[in-house]
Amino acid sequence: MKIVYYVFGAFMGFGCGSILNLVFYWLAQSGVRFAEYLIKNFGWFGRFVLEMIDFLPFFGAALGIILVKIMFGNELDRRQG
C-alpha cells in the first residue's frame, strides 16, 4: 500500500509540474519573449532558470513523493509494522 501512495504522489506532482511547464510553453508560443529577457538580463542565471522550468515535471514528481512522506508517514509506518 505504501508504494501506491508514493506513486500517486509522484503522478500528481508530475501532472502539476507538466501543467506549469505548459503555461510557460504557451507564453513562449504567444510571443512573450520571456526566455530572451531572462538570458539578456540575467546571463547564466537566466539560462539556469529556464532549465529549471523545463525540469518542472520531475521536480513536481519528487516533491509529490516527499509530500506523501510528510503527510502520511506515520500512517504508512503504522500499517507496515
pLDDT at 80 over 70: no
Rounded to whole angstroms, the Cα distance separating 58 from 13 reads 8
Among 7, 5, 14, CA closest to 74 = 5
- The grid cell for 71 is 503527510
Q: What burial letters (b/e) apply to 2-15, b meaning 16+ CB within 10 Å?
A: eeebbeebbebbbe
Residues 14-32: pLDDT tens digits? 999 999 999 999 998 998 8
Residues 44-70: pLDDT tens digits? 999 999 999 999 999 999 999 999 999
User: Taking the model in full, what pTM does it have?
Assistant: 0.81
Sorted by where each begins, the domain ranges of the chain are 2-80
| Region of residue 32 (phi > 0: left; psi between -120 and 50: alpha; otherwise: beta) | beta
pLDDT at 33 over 90: no
The pLDDT score that the predictor gives to residue 79 is: 66
